[in-house]
Chain A
Amino acid sequence: MGKTLFEKIWDEHVITARDDGDVLLYIDRHLIHDLHFRAFGMLKAKGLQIREPDKLFGTPDHSIPTTAKVLEDIPEGEMRQTVEVLEKSAAEFGFTHFPMTDDRHGIVHVIGPEQGITLPGITLVCGDSHTSTHGALGCISFGIGSTELQHVLATQSLWQRKPKMMRINITGRLGFGVSGKDVILAVIREISAAGGTGYAIEYAGSAIEAMSMEGRMTVCNMTIEAGARSGIIAPDDKTIEYCAGRPYSPKGELWDDAASYWRTLPSDDDAHFDKEITLAGDAIAPMVTWGNSPQWALPVTDTIPDPSGESDPLVRADMEAALDYMDLKPGMPLSDISVDTVFIGACTNSRIEDMRAAAQVANGRRAKVRTLVVPGSGLVKKQAEAEGLDRIFTDAGMEWREPGCSMCVGMNGDMLAPGERSASTSNRNFRGRQGLGSRTHLVSPAMAAAASVTGCFTDVRKLVEEA
């Protein structure tokens, strides 16, 4: 029997297997960010070393204010300390670090692919659940906890149980105004927030093949919101072209070896998937979430569902609690919901294509509400500025900020006030995620920009068509 893409990479990295089937997996790349600043002290306290520091790459992202350009701009205390300790540890342990003054810094999941640190066929981990993002390049990537993180630092390996295999096919073509974000929200709505638990998910089908690398990263990014630790997409010409010439990509003869190896990786025709799901890409509309789990997503043309129509009492209670928290009523059209703040950014949607999609909608219009646009890296910021996108945003009255996680998680000072409602391109609409009492609706960059210029959830297809 053939192997899946995931299995081919997995098998190539097995150091040893235990009787129970768990394997010790060799790790090719390890990314680290500021929130793990305590890991180095803990490692030292145990008398351990970093085994392969040249495979470790760090950058601050969670704790940097998007108004800060240098370390001294960060308020003193824990916030600055995290960034400082990461930088010092890089010097002490000898791993690559992109400080906030370096254009190459940004959100770990944006800079990995951007720098060519992420490559097809590798194993990549990071102490962050959205590490699933990197699978868009055709590698095994998954988030780990801080104990596992120390394990990787000390041993360059991890004990893992092979997940079950799921393939999700997105057939047909995506319509105008529909992007990777809408696809993944439609997927999570379909399989539920727990639907991928225990699986690695491979995304396939014509709509995925036609998607840009940025769009694929958005899809893989939110795989964790479907419950799965890893998302993966077969490397193709687009992937290989994307990797070519990046700073840490292989060069010359090594590049040729790599590219021909990567072409052997796609799942075999007779590979076995434990579960296979197909969604029609043509039927996916721009999506908006209304509850406190990403599974509560609907096409923007829809209305808030009525919990009383739900037969499962637990689900009903969950829906009622979400409507109460979000201050919404059953039957209300999504397009009637007005927002207080718009956030365009986060590892889900802060790449150049996302900036372009938002700018296209913002162009010549005015923001009606506070709108933060936060590029995912210094290089995305530079590129956007070279294309004049920053001017489009600022002319529209939107704020163009320094790169970082920003309002996705509210750890850098960018937050919603209690009770405030956002249209956000981030990945989590959990209670309090964007600040105590915050109400988050997840949308694509184009839909976020549409919400900004209209003040409520507006079908971007209509808005742009009208123009």
Chain B
Amino acid sequence: MAKAKGLEPFKTFASVAVPIDIANCDTDQIIPARFLRRPSTDPDYPRFLFHDLRFNEDGSEKDFVYNKAPYCDGRIFVADINWGCGSSRENAVTALAANGVRSVIAPSFGDIHYSNCIKNGVLPIRLSSADCETLRRQLHDSPGAEIAIDLDEQSLTGPDQTTYAFEINPFDKHRLLNGLDEIGLTLEFDDEISRFAENYNAKHRWAS
């Protein structure tokens, strides 16, 4: 059986963090629709992230936090409520990953985007609105400040060394820690799926 292929395992991770002060930041902002047909191997992919917030039509840069040093090297984002709402496009996570972003911290996430993150080794962390606001303020005040994440411990340390605990589903954690691919894992239930389908289709013949 094809055993779960490797995503990059996520154990501890520290990086410059970027404050993104946009409430309800939808996936159309994270990656505009016109890039959705592009292959993930496109060398321009990193530029698709926040493209219309970052670039003018002539390709010159706009005044946007992620364009500026030292934030442009940030691989952890601290966002606002309802991050990644809207379209189910997984390309939003592809664009994050193309820039080396490993974690987004926000008070809440769009449900589909949250699971897309987990499936691509990007750790979505829910902290309270107040904590996210504190972190974003610190990151504005000290550009280049780092956040350190310990997934095993389910904690992160902010620029002022305050530690915050976060919740994550144990199986999501297990998969991220080990970089496991879900299809491979599910295929271990092959017989159970077949047995279920047989019973289900016999019981609900109208549905089969």
| Chain A interface residues (CB < 8 Å from chain B) | 12-13, 15-16, 18-20, 22, 24, 26, 28, 35, 37-38, 46-48, 51-52, 63, 78-79, 81-82, 119, 121-122, 127-129, 142-148, 150-151, 154-157, 159, 161, 163, 193-194, 197-198, 224-225, 227-229, 250, 254-255, 257-258, 261, 292-293, 295, 314-315, 317-318, 409-411, 418, 428, 430-433, 436
Contact = CB atoms under 8 A, between A and B. Distances in A.
A157 B196 CA distance: 11
Contacts of A16: 189, 192, 196
B119 A24 contact: no
A317 B21 contact: yes
A156 B60 CA distance: 46
A147 B116 contact: yes
B187 interface: yes
B195 to A, nearest CB: 9
Interface residues of B, number: 56
B108 A197 contact: yes
B85 interface: yes
A315 B80 CA distance: 11
B103 interface: no
Nearest to A38: B39
Interface in B48-98: 52, 57, 80-82, 85-90, 93
B36 to A, nearest CB: 6
A418 B207 CA distance: 47
Contacts of A318: 22-24
B205 to A, nearest CB: 6
Contact of B86 (A127, A146, A261, A430): A430
Nearest to B36: A35
B82 A197 contact: yes
Interface stretch (B12-20, B25-33, B138-146): B25-33
8 contacts: A15-B196, A26-B197, A155-B186, A193-B24, A193-B82, A197-B82, A430-B26, A431-B29
A146 B90 contact: yes
A156 B197 contact: yes
Question: Which of B22, B108, B111, B133 is most buried by chain A, counting CB atoms within 10 A of its CB?
Answer: B111
B158 interface: no
A52 B193 CA distance: 11
A317 B133 CA distance: 14
A315 B36 CA distance: 30
B28 A430 contact: yes
Contacts of B28: 428, 430-433
B170 A20 contact: yes
Given A15-B192, A28-B207, A155-B193, A430 B29 contact: yes
Contacts of A28: 207
Contacts of A51: 193
B52 A145 contact: no
B123 to A, nearest CB: 16
Given A157-B186, A428-B26, A121 B32 contact: no
* Residue of B22, B85, B93, B205 with most chain A CB atoms under a 10 A cut-off: B85
B151 to A, nearest CB: 16
A35 B88 CA distance: 12
B200 interface: yes
Contacts, number: 179
Given A151-B186, A157-B186, A128 B23 contact: no
Given A48-B183, A432-B52, A193 B37 contact: no
Interface in B95-149: 108-113, 115-116, 119-120, 133
B26 A121 contact: no
A323 B3 CA distance: 51
B8 interface: no
B88 A411 contact: no
B23 A315 contact: yes
Contacts of A410: 33-34
Contact of B85 (A63, A79, A163, A227): A227
A54 B170 CA distance: 35
Given A129-B86, A151-B186, A159-B186, A197 B111 contact: yes
A119 B207 contact: yes
A161 B169 contact: yes
A227 B205 CA distance: 34
Contacts of B89: 145
A15 B37 contact: no
Contacts of A145: 88-90, 93, 112-113, 115-116, 119
A223 to B, nearest CB: 11
Nearest to A427: B86
B193 A314 contact: no
Nearest to B186: A155
Contact of A411 (B33, B81, B193): B33
